[in-house]
Structure formats: structure tokens, C-alpha cells
Amino acid sequence: MSERYRVLLLMTTAQVGGAVVQQGFGSLAPFVVTYFHINKAQLGLAFTAIMLGSAFTVAVGGILVDRFGERNVTIAAGVGIFTTLVVAALVPSYTWLVCWLFMMGFAYSAVTPAGGRAILTWFQRDRGFAMSIRQMGVPAGAVLGGIIMPALAARYDYQVSLIAVAFVALVLTTGAALVYHEPQPDERMPKTHVRDVVAGMSILARDPRTIFFALLCAVLAIAQQVTQGFVALTAVLLGHTTIAVAAAVFASAQIASIFGRIGWGLVSDNLFGGNRVLPIGICAGIAVVAALGLAISAPSNVPLLFASAILMGLSGSSWNGLFAAGLAEIGGIRFSGSAIGFGLTAIFLSGAIGPVAFGVLADAHGLHVAWTALACLESLGFVPMLLAQRAFAAAALKERAALG
């Protein structure tokens, strides 16, 4: 195995560890609702807490990656995830759980910028494919968590399941980072001073490519987080399935996301010539259909439930690799972590709003209406898609003119 693909394997493994609970917590939704006797809005608050924690610190995480390197930051993130999950499991209180899931979001926030910088540094070509492979670790982590957590929660309780996946997260993140090594000094950019990184981030924040690209992905981030939090519960409440079948529906969406991320990376690199915007716009269109399918789920049509979940996995949860590749390319090697960190702030904020808003709407009008509203929201993604496409085209023309 070549060194760059060894790096890809290691950083994908670290991403799996980081995402075990960050993305897999939705598999515990039926257990949490029953254990604490909470409504859908309160359930959504747990996912909002995770995303808000990440939103508040991901930009700082990107700066730290550019300053201290991806290896050190990934190790610190893994230890933080482990610690917060163990503490969250100590007290059987929903308020306590939500607070420590918020803190876990803090710890998780640096994992993606660290991995993105590693891929940009080691891969000079096929970046969309490589970034999508690494981002494949997110749904893979969700599948792993979706298998471990419901099984242990059914046998014991949610506290045991959280402690178990805390150890899994620690081993996968820190273990991979300890084996990983950064490029030799003559093969990479030198460490950047924090003041320079902050100045670079301010430039990136004003770049129209960053703004519209992040807005496009923010729309899809809402679909992703709503799916993570409510697809298993939808299977139980609308499809009248068993807990085991609901877990299978959740896992099917995550497995579809794994293949979707690989597929969209290949499509972006080869069919669209490195364009990251148009494939993500197509994902938004497919997500509209998937959300409508979930909206009309019923006990008499469980295959539609599975098909819609899989379609949402292939679209609403498969754009992330292209998002990371696009922002890393905007920032370049020197500011790739900062660029991803800035973009993820918008992603995590929108992902934080989505679940709680969906839960409130579902409590008031039912899951059918809530999924239909999500479909309408996804259709709005075509506006920032067009604006982002124009911004990338203008930047390309400016760059060609500068080169003469």
C-alpha cells in the first residue's frame, strides 16, 4: 500500500471513531424517548446540543489544526470524546445527558478539519475521491454505533452503551493518529502562526465561493441531521416496525451513505471535472424525493420506508466529502483546516437548528407534515447552488487571467 493510501486509511479510521456517537446516537432514539418519557422536540434537543457544541468550536479547531498539525489535534479530540461520553453516562438524567453531548460536540469539532488537511497535504490528485473516502468514515461510524448502542441498550441500558462506544471512539481516533505521521518538512507548508491563520480565515469568510457553497451544504446538513435523529423513530411510529427493524432502517441509510460518498467523489472528479457544486445540487434534488417518501410511510408499505431511507443516505448524507474537498481547495494547503472549520460552523449551526425544529413541528402536526416540510426546504438548495457555481466560475476566470 502506498503511503498516501495508508494515510487515507488511518484518517478514515479516526473519522469512524469520531462519528460513532456524533452520528450514531439516533439509533438510541427509541430507547431514549421511552427511558426518559420525552417528546420529539426534547429528543431533537439532544442532536441540537451535539451540533451546537461543534458549531461553537469547529472554527477554532480548524485554526488549531493549521497551527499544531492534524496528528496532535486528532489525539486531543479522541481523548475529549471519550471523557465526555463516560461522564454523560454516569448520571441517568436527560438534562445531564444533553449537557455532556454538547461538550462532546466540542471535542468532535476538530476531527474533520484535521482529516481534511491530511488529505489535502498527501493527495495532489483524486482529492474528491480521497476526501469522500475519508468522509465515508462518518456513516461507517454511524453504522458501528447503530449496531453497538441499540444492542447494549436493549440488553442493559443507554448508560452501558455510551461507555462502550466511548472506548471504541478512543481506540479508533487516538490509535489511528498515533500511527499517522505528517509529511516531511520539505513536503509540506511550515506551521503557521495563529495570527496569520486568523487573518486568512477572515479572507475566506468574505469569499463568495465559501459563503454560497456553505449555504448549499447547510441545507443538506439539516436533512442529514434530521435523518440521523428521526428515521428510526419514524419507522417505529409511522411504519409500526419493531425496534430491530427500525435499527435496520437507520443502518440502511448509513450504509447507503457510505457508498454514496464514494460514488459522488468519483462523479465529481471524473464526470464533472472536479466541480464540487453541481453534484451537491443533485443531492439536494434527490433528498426532496427521499423526504417525501418518508412523509408517506405507513405500516402497509415498509419497503417504501427502507427505500426512502436509502435514498436519503445516498443524497442527504453523501455530500460531505465534496464539501470538505471544495473548502480545502478554496483555502489551499496553508489554510485548508481553517477553510473547513469556517464552513463547518455554518454546517453545524444549521444541523443544530434542524432536529429541534423538526421535532417541534412533528409534535404539533405529526411526522408526515414534518418530513414534507423538510422536502420543501431541500428544494430551496438550488438557489445557493446557482450562486456558488457562478462564484467558482468567476474565481477560475480570475485565476486564469492572473496566470496570463
Summarised one tens digit per residue, pLDDT across range 276-301 is 899 999 999 999 999 999 999 888 88
The amino acid present at 170, given as its one-letter code, is: L
pLDDT, residue 292, reads 96
The better pLDDT of the pair 401, 51 is held by 51
Least confident of 103-107, 240-244, 316-320, 332-336: 332-336
pLDDT, residue 95, reads 93
Q: Domain 3-402 is of which CATH architecture?
A: Up-down Bundle (1.20)
Mean of all residue pLDDT scores within the chain: 85
pLDDT, residue 120, reads 72
pLDDT, residue 347, reads 80
Among left, alpha and beta (phi > 0; psi -120 to 50; other), residue 262 is alpha
Query: Which CA distances in Å does 252 have to 15, 97, 191, 195?
Result: 19, 27, 41, 45
The better pLDDT of the pair 335, 91 is held by 91
Tens digits of residue pLDDT in 59-85:
677 777 777 778 888 999 999 999 999
The average pLDDT across 122-130 equals 72
For the cut 70, the answer to whether the pLDDT of residue 108 exceeds it is: yes
Portion of the chain with pLDDT greater than 70, in percent: 88
pLDDT, residue 187, reads 47
pLDDT, residue 235, reads 92
The average pLDDT across 341-359 equals 81
User: Of 88-92, 243-247, 345-349, which one has max mean pLDDT?
Assistant: 88-92
The average pLDDT across 363-390 equals 94
User: Of 45-59, 149-163, 182-196, which one has max mean pLDDT?
Assistant: 149-163
The better pLDDT of the pair 263, 201 is held by 263
